[in-house]
Chain A
Amino acid sequence: SQELEQSPQSLIVQEGKNLTINCTSSKTLYGLYWYKQKYGEGLIFLMMLQKGGEEKSHEKITAKLDEKKQQSSLHITASQPSHAGIYLCGAVPNTGNQFYFGTGTSLTVIP
């Protein structure tokens, strides 16, 4: 099955620090999607990337997709306690219909 490797598994940062989460696929992707989940709750859609080299930003969060469409990063600038949660990347491969997810990155922001 399609695998998405996410790193790091967990991250503890001081408020105000920048951080990056990575997501790597073994196959070329049709689309790469970033989600945030509060513990035990539903997933909230953050951003979608579909073109090689694409970069999108929303408030202090920037997501990029590499030219080969196999690797993505999520960067948070000047982290705040409200950024805490689990970040998951999800993807649809170029071939196939299944929507896969990485295992998630747990982010803790210390005030």
Chain B
Amino acid sequence: EAQVTQNPRYLITVTGKKLTVTCSQNMNHEYMSWYRQDPGLGLRQIYYSMNVEVTDKGDVPEGYKVSRKEKRNFPLILESPSPNQTSLYFCASGGVGGPLHFGNGTRLTVT
């Protein structure tokens, strides 16, 4: 089954403790992206990647890192999480000109 898999679904952590949210897709898509969704602000792009070893900042990249060492994986790294990074995060992937396919989301709480 074609899908984007994110893990974990829920994560509660403390300020400053490094964490990684994994994302994997099995559709051989070149394009992958991370978004955060906050009430009243909609979906905002954090980082995106056009292909392996090619990543670019989105609209809200501060405090986040990504890597694209393999085509299928695009992990999101928070080196030192802060409470303002409490949000619902989505990973997505897409082929050229096609729609984005989304993971089920990761709800992150930073205390």
Contact = CB atoms under 8 A, between A and B. Distances in A.
Contacts of B97: 30-31, 50
Contacts of A59: none
Interface string A25-51: 000001101010000111111001010
Given A48-B98, A99-B45, A41 B104 contact: yes
Contact of A97 (B56, B59, B88, B90): B56
A101 B48 CA distance: 14
A98 B99 contact: no
Contacts of B42: 88, 101-104
B100 interface: yes
Nearest to B97: A31
A100 B45 contact: yes
A82 interface: no
A100 B99 CA distance: 12
B81 interface: no
Interface string B28-64: 0001010100001111010010100000101100000
A95 interface: no
A1 B57 CA distance: 12
Contact of B105 (A42, A90, A98, A104): A42
Contact of B45 (A45, A98, A102): A98
A48 B45 contact: no
B83 to A, nearest CB: 20
Given A45-B99, A45-B101, A99-B92, 5 more contacts: A42-B103, A45-B100, A48-B98, A98-B45, A99-B31
Interface of A: 1, 30-31, 33, 35, 40-45, 48, 50, 88, 90, 97-104
25 contacts: A1-B59, A30-B97, A31-B97, A41-B104, A42-B103, A42-B105, A43-B90, A43-B92, A43-B102, A45-B101, A48-B99, A90-B43, A90-B99, A90-B100, A97-B48, A98-B48, A98-B58, A99-B31, A99-B45, A99-B100, A100-B45, A101-B35, A101-B42, A101-B43, A102-B42
